[in-house]
Amino acid sequence: MQFTLYSRIYCHLCDDMLQALQTLLGPDTYPIHVLDVDADPALVAQYDELVPVLLGHKEGQAVQQLCHYFLDEAAVRAFVAHS
């Protein structure tokens, strides 16, 4: 299981979501990949106004968008619990 956080540089909501996610999951539990949407025009087209966006990935399953703007702790907990 891993997470992808679509983010931008100088985005306080992005920093807040990453910190809240790390606090919720604990240290070194699941990989969190932080990607700058502004580095890829396709990502800007998809996520521009929604950043930060958190996706969850489980092997053999479709990627799930868990939340955007603010961390939805209940959604992340449910995603982790159903592994």
Domains of the chain: 2-66 (3.40.30.10)
Phi, psi of 68 (to 5 degrees): -145, 160
Share of the chain above pLDDT 70, in %: 99
Tell me if 2 sits within 8 A of 57, measured CB to CB. yes
The β-bridge relationship of strands 32-36 and 2-7 is parallel
In this model, does residue 83 exceed pLDDT 70?
no
Burial tier of 14 (Cβ tally within 10 Å: 0-12, 13-18, 19+): buried
Render pLDDT for 23-52 as a digit per residue (tens, 0 to 9).
999 878 899 999 999 999 999 999 999 999
Look up the pTM and report it: 0.94
